[in-house]
């Protein structure tokens, strides 16, 4: 067993307390993995099983808002999130320039939303400052896996951003955008509580 081999290494064999902690962590990981597989038919990274994602949403954004935030998501700076929004694994939310996300949004795996950049600082050898500008995402938006949203962007309501898109310009309500850089490729149609995606 891998644990037995690790425990024989000097850093553990010479420190019984450290070895005991590692064994406890291995036991916890295996127990959580088995429970998660049984209850949810999935296996998560350990950090995702340690605390409840809704509890993390309450801790970051307040109680009673039904916000889900995966444990592997990074939330930094001034970030405001509306009710019933889902922030998935490995998302990066940079609020150093101010970030607002509306109600009923889905921020998918690995999305990066940044409100600053260091481009001119780096290119000038530190003579220019970091640049910051707020980002606002409206209500009822879906941001696809590993999309990137640059500083200063405003995204309207009912907007779909495709997976891997690089958003460098504002997107109006009911638009579908995809690509690098992202371009509007369709529109969201909402009639009688039914959504239809129409592509150009």
Same domain flag for 90 and 24 = no
- Report the mean per-residue pLDDT for the chain: 93
Same domain flag for 72 and 108 = yes
What is the extent of the structural domain holding 16?
A: 2-47
pLDDT beyond 70 at 53 = yes
Q: Which of 13-17, 28-32, 168-172 has the lowest mean pLDDT?
A: 13-17
Within 13 Å of residue 136, how many CA atoms lie on the same side as its CB? 8
Same domain flag for 65 and 140 = yes
Same domain flag for 60 and 87 = yes
Same domain flag for 95 and 193 = yes
Q: Is 116 a catalytic residue?
A: yes
Contact 114, 98 (CB under 8 A): no
Q: Where are the alpha helices (DSSP H) in 41-115?
A: 46-50, 53-61
Within 13 Å of residue 96, how many CA atoms lie on the same side as its CB? 14
**94: β partners:** 76
Choosing from 56, 116, 158, 187, the catalytic residue is: 116
Query: Percent of the chain having pLDDT more than 70?
Result: 100
């Amino acid at each position: 067993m891998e644990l037995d081999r690790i425990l024989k290494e000097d850093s553990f064999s010479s420190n019984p307390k450290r070895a005991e902690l590692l064994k406890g962590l291995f036991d916890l990981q295996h127990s959580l993995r088995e429970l998660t597989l049984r209850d949810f038919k999935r296996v998560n990274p350990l950090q995702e099983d340690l605390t409840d994602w809704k509890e993390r949403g309450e801790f970051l954004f307040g109680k009673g808002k039904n916000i889900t935030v995966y444990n592997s998501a990074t939330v930094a700076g001034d970030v405001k999130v509306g009710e019933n929004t889902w922030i998935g694994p490995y998302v990066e939310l940079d609020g150093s320039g101010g970030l607002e996300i509306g109600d009923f949004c889905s921020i998918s795996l690995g999305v990066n939303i940044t409100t600053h950049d260091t481009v001119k600082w780096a290119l000038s050898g530190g003579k220019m400052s970091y640049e910051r500008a707020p980002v606002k995402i409206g209500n009822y938006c879906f941001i696809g896996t590993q999309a990137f949203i640059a500083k200063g962007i405003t995204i309207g309501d009912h907007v779909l951003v495709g997976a891997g898109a690089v958003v460098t310009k504002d997107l109006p309500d009911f638009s579908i955008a995809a690509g690098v850089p992202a371009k509007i490729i369709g529109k969201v149609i909402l009639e009688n509580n039914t959504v239809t995606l129409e592509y150009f």
